[in-house]
Structure 1
Amino acid sequence: MNRQVIITCAVTGAGDSVGKHPAIPVTPAQIAAAAVEAAQAGAAVAHIHVRDPETGRASRDPALYREVVERIRASGTDVIINLTAGMGGDLYIGPDHAPTRFGTDTDLVGTEERAVHVAELLPEICTLDCGSLNFGDGSLVYVSTPDMLRAQAALIQRLGVKPELEVFDTGHLWFAKQMLKEGLLDQPPLFQFCLGIPWGAPAEPRIMMAMRDMLPDGALWAGFGIGRMQMPMVAQAVLLGGNVRVGLEDNLYLDRGVFASNGSLVERACGIVERLGARVVDPAEARGILGLGSLDAAGRPA
């Protein structure tokens, strides 16, 4: 069991949740405010995507990331910023008679372009999605090949940003361990088990335990489940020795029929952690656990 728990809040995500919830953060101001709200509720880490302020659709625009990060830092709120670097991997396969006639929603770019905002803003953490995946029903494939991953891991390592290794299935974890052997990841590696996304690993206790058992010695890890499995996986992760993630990226409801906020989800997770006899750590303590450096006067990694 983990007695000192880091809570990450994924505040908006890239999914089509706008319109399914009355208050999904969309604009940079809303996303930054959501990160501050989560931190005030007890989250040590805010995981950030950005959206087009006009349409609400997922975006890779570095200017939007810059505004979000600047607003968080200007708020004076201490929270570890974790920027996604997973955007730019969406490939919509064409119809059966013309599979290379890719869908209009395809957004597939190389590794450097996926990390432009990371290189500019130098967050303390960024994500590295550790493999390709059939993402839900239909014809969407998230593409992250071994060659792409090696190149992106090397880039993140050169930037001095800590990668959060997002693994959606056991093969992703297997390859992340290979990158560790090849020296593309620094010690201690940080893993995030992403469970319940069709058609990756399901959000089941035995799956989380199996992935935990596959970890290399000394690894740090967290895990989450989506939808109604979010809070059960909070408890499961703590009991198995890990950290946790909640937030509107992964789940829209606090209770059946009751819309959540990022703050209410963090508060619910804090309650579960504390009732299990563990303690939620603050950002300064989380930096020590994760092996992150200190911040300068502007709130940037020193």
Structure 2
Amino acid sequence: MTKKQRTIITCAITGAIHTPTMSDALPYTADDIAAQAIEAAEAGAAILHLHARRPQDGGVTIEPNAFAAFLPRIKQATDAVINISTGGSLKNTIEERIAPALKFSPEMCSMNMGSMNFSFHPLAKRYDTWKFDWERDYVAQSDTYIFRNTFADIENAAKALAPHGIKFEHECYDVGHLYNLRFCMDIGLFKAPIFIQFIFGILGGIGPEIDNLIFMKRTADRLFGDDYHWSVLGAGAAQMSLATTASQMKGNVRVGLEDSLFISRGKLAESNAQQVTKIRRIIEDLGCEIASPDEAREILGLKGADSVAF
């Protein structure tokens, strides 16, 4: 019998875009981040992609101590692969953004593959009142942000993190980022096999159409051959449809409240686990199987949970 495909589900728990006003389900205290991460793993997420928040008001923080408040708890309660973001705040240097990964030496961390306009300012018009004072300006002024990831930034991050044996989730928001990644491989910064996260639907990046997914996949095939694994992140309303399509193209998927606050059109998700449960059901109903954390480690060639520093 033909062996069924194993699909890796990543769950991005809280991120740095959405704010507490937008959803009561968005976790920002260490207790809530840990609880939702553990529930997402129990629902079937093999990888947990993690950002930190200020517990008093939900603001974005990249302070290592904020990660320390929940990382050991998640590791103790689940065998999921922990992936620490190096995106963090759009206003910080790359040295500041990689500090948590340097301190905790996770199995995985994100690696953004190019600079871009990165905006979510249209969301500011949806709310008349805000839970915390910082939220409105943070959202409304995102049209002034440039998400900086120069070649020098990428090289500095890659070299600093290389001794830790971390597998990168190469986040590619547009087709040019794939060429950036190929260049970085050619100069020796990254070695095959690599793991690419195709990202669709962020204002400033490539749009969330299936034609674009096919185009990105064909481009990656041409640039990397068989030397890569891939996953799809669809932002907002594109989350479930693009994840479903990716799973049927033998790709992997990413869901979570970082990427979308909704479970269906117009209905807010109750938790990260609810999104994981939904995409798992879709994947299994369509004849595939989800990967366990240990299967994800084998597929991606990870160093193992016993080699992290938390």
TM-score, normalised by the number of residues in structure 1? 0.89
The CA distance in 2 between the partners of 1:118 and 1:170, in whole Å, is 26
Aligned 8 A contact 2:166 2:303 in 1: no
Gaps of 5+ in 2: 122-142
Q: Percent identity?
A: 36
Alignment counterpart, residue 141 of structure 1, candidates 143, 146, 151: 146
The reply on whether 1:172 has 2:182 as its aligned counterpart is no
Equivalent position SS for 1:180: helix
The reply on whether 1:85 has 2:83 as its aligned counterpart is no
Aligned 8 A contact 2:165 2:303 in 1: no
Cross-structure match for 1:104: none
The higher-RCO structure (CA 8 Å, 6+ apart) is 2
Alignment counterpart, residue 256 of structure 1, candidates 250, 253, 265: 265
Gaps of 5+ in 1: 91-106
Equivalent position SS for 2:202: coil
- How far does residue 158 in structure 1 lie from its aligned partner after superposition? 2.4
The CA distance in 2 between the partners of 1:198 and 1:41, in whole Å, is 30
The CA distance in 2 between the partners of 1:60 and 1:174, in whole Å, is 28
The reply on whether 1:221 has 2:230 as its aligned counterpart is yes
Aligned 8 A contact 1:29 1:71 in 2: no
The CA distance in 1 between the partners of 2:97 and 2:266, in whole Å, is 36
The CA distance in 2 between the partners of 1:6 and 1:108, in whole Å, is 30
The CA distance in 1 between the partners of 2:309 and 2:55, in whole Å, is 28
The reply on whether 1:73 has 2:75 as its aligned counterpart is yes
Aligned 8 A contact 1:27 1:51 in 2: yes
The reply on whether 1:237 has 2:242 as its aligned counterpart is no
The CA distance in 2 between the partners of 1:295 and 1:38, in whole Å, is 18
After superposition, the Cα gap between the structure-2 partners of 1:257 and 1:206, relative to the gap in structure 1 and judged at 3 Å, is closer
- How far does residue 24 in structure 1 lie from its aligned partner after superposition? 0.8
The reply on whether 1:208 has 2:213 as its aligned counterpart is yes
The CA distance in 2 between the partners of 1:62 and 1:285, in whole Å, is 29
The reply on whether 1:294 has 2:294 as its aligned counterpart is no
More helix by share: 2
List aligned pairs for 1:7-86, cutoff 5 A.
Answer: 7-75=9-77, 77-86=78-87
Cross-structure match for 1:99: none
Equivalent position SS for 2:180: helix
